[in-house]
Amino acid sequence: MLSVTLSTAKPTTARADALILGIRGDEDKGDLAATLDLLGFTGEKGQTVTFPAGDAAKTSLIVAVALPEEPTAEDLRRATARGVRAVKNATSLAIALHPAGVDEVEAIAEGVALGAYTYETYKTKKKGDAKKPKLKSAVILSPFARQTTATKAVERAATVAEAVNIARDWVNTPPGDLRPADFAEAITTHAGTDVKVSVWDEKRLAKEKCGGILGVGQGSDSPPRLVALTYAPANAVTHLALVGKGITFDSGGLSIKPGASMQTMKLDMAGAAAIVAATVAIARLGLPIKISAFACIAENMPSGGATRPGDVLTMRSGATVEVHNTDAEGRLVLADGLALATEAKPDRIVDVATLTGACVVALGELTSGILSNDEEFSETVFAASKAAGESMWPLPITEEMKGKVNSSSIADLRQHNPKPYGGTLFAAAFLREFVKDIPWVHLDIAGPSFNEGGAVDYTPVGGTGTGVRTLVRLATELAGAR
């Protein structure tokens, strides 16, 4: 397990395999100026160079990472992760990025744990292969290392990073090994005694009239599940409900996807992974806020028993929904989860889902969409995302979408957009039908939830854990803990 500690040691005297040294300008280069200039280090954003320390430090290597003159917490988080990734075989690191406050220490500590993440569960070692060293310890150098607030910041960072990384692990797990019952069991194990967990199987779902989750899952031989988590501290100052889309594999159902589009569809449970991981982290942090979380889990498969386009499903709320496209299944399971969330009578609701490809078209692969029925709450979530360092952007739910959602001739609601544009807005308008008048935010994380390219800073290949840090930061702010 990775250990992150604090020290008042100077960069020149810290002992470790490598030193990550932040360079904010020519003054920071000091005696290393000639070496850095020779290596072409200009201080351009994102630049990293590695070289033998020689007599300049007690470490074997120095990793110089470029920083702006006045770095944000996110700049420090990313620079730390770049440094961690630059030294692949180090078991110990010293990190000298000159943090100016406790928030910056926390960001650096997060950067270490997030940048060190790898997923190698299914990698096999051939006989004779050398065992790759793994990072075991990192020490953050800071003049206020002995302050209690700094120590608590490092502990808080470890809890948040662990939450992000468990979400990454779940998303990365092959879909055949994380079917609905498996995912429910994994959630229960992870929650431990920190939160109360209740698992509804297909019989309980039928009894509770969760037609959306049952309708999506009925084509699979692995029945759906709903996992409800509750964290209710005695000193709670507010009540937040979280709902997550947990499609463990999305074939598209009878509206089947092209083969190439299915390759990464294990990612479709990233929303549920995010809300569960965040809930457990909030509990472990002891935040004075009640959380009611609902992970809506199903496998969307084609079979003779699958839901058909043209079928009508009855949701938990009692509303009937005409299905037009079985590949728009996420909104169906979320509808039941949102109905359950409203029954819990929270002050606010957030749902998280890899919901629409249209959001990726609108905002790209790195930015999540924020859609809401409440401007003030939307702004609060947006501010939390910026403070957490996650890229999100508000989108509107335009008035025209309500008419489209209510345009079915045979049911209360139409499930799929009749037009080939505005898909993200339509989906949010559909979900809005299930939250009543409770302030609600929908986070569409379809783009940044999974990284098919190369690792960048603290973003690994595969599951990214998007949404976890924003939810924890939001809960912290709502609880008045900052």
CA dihedral in degrees (234, 240, 245, 248; nearest 10)? Answer: -20
Question: Alpha helix (H) ranges present in 55-147?
Answer: 73-86, 102-115
Phi, psi angles (nearest 5°) of residue 410? -125, -5
Residue-wise burial string across 263-274, b where 16 or more C-beta atoms lie within 10 A, e elsewhere: ebbbbbbbbbbb
Please check whether residue 321 is in contact with residue 315, taking contact to mean a CB–CB distance below 8 angstroms.
Answer: yes
What are 15's two structure tokens? 């002992």
Dist. CA 434–CA 373, nearest whole Å: 11
Percent of the chain with pLDDT over 90: 93
* pLDDT of the chain, 482 residues: tens digit per residue: 899 999 999 999 999 999 999 999 888 898 999 999 999 999 998 999 999 999 989 999 999 999 999 999 999 999 999 999 999 889 999 999 999 999 999 999 999 999 999 999 999 877 666 667 789 999 999 998 999 999 999 999 999 999 999 999 999 999 999 999 999 999 999 999 989 999 999 999 999 999 999 999 999 999 999 999 999 999 999 999 999 999 999 999 999 999 999 999 999 999 999 999 999 999 999 999 999 999 999 999 999 999 999 999 999 999 999 999 999 999 999 999 999 999 999 999 999 999 999 999 999 999 999 999 999 999 999 999 999 999 999 999 999 999 999 999 999 999 999 988 999 999 999 999 999 999 999 999 999 999 999 999 999 999 999 999 999 999 999 999 77
Closest CA to 292 of 338, 349, 241, 352: 241
Dist. CA 46–CA 414, nearest whole Å: 47
pLDDT, mean over the chain: 96
- pLDDT per residue over 63-111, tens digit each? 999 999 999 999 999 999 999 999 988 999 999 999 999 999 999 999 9
| DSSP-assigned letter for residue 320 | E
C-alpha R_g of the chain:
23
Locate the DSSP E strands across 251-367: 290-300, 312-314, 320-322, 348-353
Please check whether residue 313 is in contact with residue 332, taking contact to mean a CB–CB distance below 8 angstroms.
Answer: yes
What's the order of all strands across the beta sheet hosting 320-322? 312-314, 320-322, 413-414
Instruction: Give the number of other Cβ atoms within 10 Å of residue 350's Cβ.
Output: 30
Q: Which residues are catalytic?
A: 257, 331
| DSSP-assigned letter for residue 163 | H
| DSSP-assigned letter for residue 32 | G
pLDDT given for residue 130 in this prediction = 63
Cα 131 to Cα 17, 73, 187, distances in angstroms: 17, 34, 31
Dist. CA 311–CA 427, nearest whole Å: 18
Please check whether residue 168 is in contact with residue 464, taking contact to mean a CB–CB distance below 8 angstroms.
Answer: yes
| Distance from the Cα of residue 244 to its chain's centroid | 11
Dist. CA 104–CA 147, nearest whole Å: 14
The residues near 289 (Cβ < 8 Å, ≥ 6 apart) are: 233, 236, 237, 238, 239, 240, 282, 475, 478, 479
Cα 61 to Cα 29, 51, 276, 347, distances in angstroms: 16, 6, 39, 52
- pLDDT per residue over 110-151, tens digit each? 999 999 999 999 998 776 666 677 899 999 999 989 999 999
- pLDDT per residue over 147-187, tens digit each? 999 999 999 999 999 999 999 999 999 999 999 999 999 99
Instruction: Give the number of other Cβ atoms within 10 Å of residue 49's Cβ.
Output: 17
Please check whether residue 460 is in contact with residue 383, taking contact to mean a CB–CB distance below 8 angstroms.
Answer: no
What are 220's two structure tokens? 């699979």
pTM of the model: 0.97
Please check whether residue 296 is in contact with residue 246, taking contact to mean a CB–CB distance below 8 angstroms.
Answer: yes
